[in-house]
Chains A and B, each alone.
Chain A
Amino acid sequence: MRVRVGYSNKVLPYILVAPQVIITLVFFIWPASQALYQSVQRQDPFGLRTRFVGLDNFAAILEDPGYLNSLYVTAIFSISVAALALGLALLLAVSADRVIRGATAYKTLLIWPYAVAPAVAGVLWMFLFNPTIGSVAFALKALGYDWNHLLDGNQAMLLVVLAATWKQISYNFIFFLAGLQAIPKSLIEAAAIDGAGRNRRFWTIILPLLSPTAFFLLVVNVVYAFFDTFGIIHSVTSGGPARATEILVYKVYYDAFEALDLGGSAAQSVILMAIVISLTVVQFRYVERRVHY
């Protein structure tokens, strides 16, 4: 006898999923469709004159060396931030996992930066490295290193990568630490008895068992580097010097709100949306295969 599992009431299931559907509609589908609609027209800032231009905005963007530069900058920035934030957080989590005395204080301190708003984190780092009044810049100059991220694009990039990484390490740290603590001690002890050293235990037992956490964090970190770092870029470099730190999301903001080019900016956000969707698809299809749950 087959048991049909379901609701006898035909309306109830729709009511139950409605909040989720409404949230998706209001916060994703509607703005995304507005962006699509805007991206095929040109409009003056006040919305007095609107022209349909087809794919002109997209053509203009793809010809714009500034946009191609921004793609390149985003790739460097995102890869650096994700790699550094994941690597350092893992290192810290593994170390924290071994600490016996004062572990709580140590962990609390490591988690703190996560509570700092991106813009505030940015301002903090900006003051530390300000070429004229920053204490770190002063120390660097005393050591004979000419620090001026207002003029040197590589230094500016290094600075925003540092700030963005610093901010994200805490988040990754919590997840890695939780992941580590979920690994049964007996497994590690068994390996130790079999003669596996500390390094070997890490690579063959701990890391594979951590892979679901690591994969989840990879997705989160890439999204973070693409979008949430806006506040840091805005407060530290404003995308400069000479666009050396103008990541895609900053360019979208700049073109819409400073340059008042709504069509061009909408077209960029459509492309950005496509990039992030395809990155996530790639991650789930190819990277996830190597994850052991």
Chain B
Amino acid sequence: MLSRRNLLAATAAVALSASAATAQQPVEIQFWHAMGGALNEWVDELAKGYNDSQTKYKVVAVNKGNYTEVMTGAIAAYRANRAPHIIQVFEVGTATMMAAKGAVKPVYEVMEQAGIGWDPKVYLPAVAGYYTTTDGRMLSMPLNSSSPIFYYNKDAFKKAGLDPAVAPKTWVEVRDAAKKLQASGMPCGLSTAWPSWVLIENFGAMHNLPMGTLENGFGGLGTEFQFNSPAHVTHMERIAEMQKAKEFDYGGRRGDSQVKFTNAECGMYIQSSAGLSSILKTAKFDVGFGMMPYWPDLTKGPNGGPQNSILGGATLWVLGGKSADEYKGVAGFFAHISKPEVQAASHQRTGYLPITMAAYELTQKQGFYEKNPGFEIANKQMTLNPPTPNSKGIRFGNLVQIRDIIEEEMEAVFAGKKQAKAALDSAVQRGNALLRQFERDNK
């Protein structure tokens, strides 16, 4: 609380000195992001909120396309000496950004040098931990983090004679529900968005199985993939079996499959918690929520249950080579979006995770979760158990390509062209080649 009051005092002082300097132009802070549609408005309002709170700095938020476009755009701009101050980078780009020492200014440095009484402990460990070095230094500022959750069509459940109040907890129950849904006339039982993120990365975390050595890559660049273990293969074989009967139906990469759920073609769906608002808006039926299912016979989680899930989404990275004054403006903006009331409003508006404990508690106090039960699932699921080395996150270089390789091999399995084991072996082997390349390039 004290730090907040200090901050207010500081901004007030800044405002005074600025007005004394007779209508001095504000220092512009360029912020490139990838938020489209309703989320674009949200980011614009974050910037506006900060700009209205003081007069010295002006954050200019610009949408530069999708995540890859923002990243490549910023890289090209950096190489041409026209880099923005802040860029939004998706979690798979984390290793690339971390390796770009010199091009990037770590967030802890920006915040400490600004001298605004920054406390890194206010951030939720489950969220900030993903973007923190092993010695506890925060490298980028979480903006939008999410975790996949389970959605189901309550109306369809009713029609199929299933209890609409209870979400299936295990894959066995999911399969059972899928069969009943199909018997009631639905063409497909379940689909998923972000196939690699859900079926490999989060499968590993939820079942406490390593995706790679050296703590899933947190321990160093020498990491090697392990997601072709017998448990992974069994998991993939079973999903492939479900695909044959359309109990599971593959619907493409990213969120391409969402229409399958909202058009009531599939009765169950696994998608990011960030899909909440758009699913609620487009679905013409009652939507139920639950945690991602697990296999009771495969999990290494506590008491034979699930471990915890990991996040996705994006964080804000600060690029190097700017003046100390500009960095102060960046720090002020980060402090602004971390404020409990700003953060809680963001969380309730978008379905992204709250990034600070205070925002989470504030939302609870406001009684928001009682009215909107879907918004708490992701948080509960991520904090289900204290994270293990297998479930605190993943950090692999060249992850953009590796994800594509995993998804491409999965597509071959679901199309019936490859056996699960052969596909996972090949994905591991090809993925390892990219890990070695990243290791060589970043020595």
On A, residues with C-beta under 8 Å from B are: 42, 44-49, 130-133, 150-153, 238, 240-243, 257-261
Contact = CB atoms under 8 A, between A and B. Distances in A.
Contact of B441 (A42, A47, A150, A257): A42
A48 B102 contact: yes
Secondary structure class of chain A's binding surface, majority of residues: loop
19 contacts: A42-B441, A44-B442, A45-B100, A46-B75, A47-B78, A48-B100, A48-B103, A49-B442, A151-B415, A240-B411, A241-B415, A257-B68, A258-B400, A258-B401, A259-B398, A260-B71, A260-B75, A260-B96, A261-B398
A56 B71 CA distance: 26
4 closest residue pairs by CB, A with B: A46-B103, A150-B252, A241-B411, A242-B411
Interface in B148-194: none
B259 A133 contact: yes
B251 A44 contact: no
Nearest to A146: B246
Given A132-B251, A150-B256, A260-B96, A240 B408 contact: yes
Given A42-B441, A241-B408, A243-B408, A132 B260 contact: yes
Interface string B92-115: 000010011111000000000000
Contacts of B412: 242
A81 B357 CA distance: 57
A133 B261 CA distance: 12
A133 B411 CA distance: 21
Nearest to A45: B75
A47 B414 contact: no
A153 B415 contact: yes
Q: How large is the interface on B (under 10, 10 to 19, 20 to 34, 35 or more residues)?
A: 35 or more
Interface of B: 68, 71-72, 75, 78-79, 96, 99-103, 250-253, 256, 259-260, 263, 265, 398, 400-401, 404, 408-409, 411-412, 414-415, 417, 437, 440-442
Given A46-B103, A48-B100, A241-B415, 8 more contacts: A46-B75, A46-B102, A130-B259, A151-B414, A240-B408, A258-B68, A258-B400, A260-B96
Given A242-B412, A260-B72, A44 B441 contact: yes
A49 B442 CA distance: 8
A153 B101 CA distance: 41
A178 B256 CA distance: 44
A130 to B, nearest CB: 8
Nearest to B191: A132
Nearest to A243: B408
A142 to B, nearest CB: 13
Contact of B101 (A48, A242, A243): A48
Contacts of A242: 408-409, 411-412, 415, 417
